Amino acid sequence: QQQVKQSPQSLIVQKGGISIINCAYENTAFDYFPWYQQFPGKGPALLIAIRPDVSEKKEGRFTISFNKSAKQFSLHIMDSQPGDSATYFCAASSTGTASKLTFGTGTRLQVTL
């Protein structure tokens, strides 16, 4: 019940395209959903986060869509750039904060020219 399932495992998108990564969860107590970006050899960094009281949050080219009834949330990267090539992790917490995170399995995104 603590799992967060993430798909796809890897993704190749052309420059300028839209990258979409999906996550699903079972634990209805989860109430905070961040996305992290990780470059090789580095620690993850927060990209964007959402709470279940809203269905969408947008920050620049990054948008989270949240479907509470389906227990799913997704990350959309608009106008994908080669610099976006990284591994993306969704995560969830039941504390309303980032105090205890359960991570998804990760998606390796490659943006080609």
Q: Name the residues that contact other proteins, by CB under 8 A.
A: 34, 36, 41-46, 49, 89, 97-101, 103-106, 108
CB of residue 108 to other proteins, shortest distance in Å: 7
Q: Which is nearer to other proteins, 16 or 96 (CB)?
A: 96
**Position 57, amino acid:** K
Q: Which is nearer to other proteins, 80 or 107 (CB)?
A: 107
Question: In the structure encoding, which two tokens stand for residue 81, read together?
Answer: 């750039």
- String of DSSP letters for 60-87: TTEEEEEETTTTEEEEEESS--GGG-EE
CB of residue 16 to other proteins, shortest distance in Å: 27
Element of type H or E holding 52: none
Q: How far apart are the first and last CA of the chain?
A: 40
CB of residue 109 to other proteins, shortest distance in Å: 13
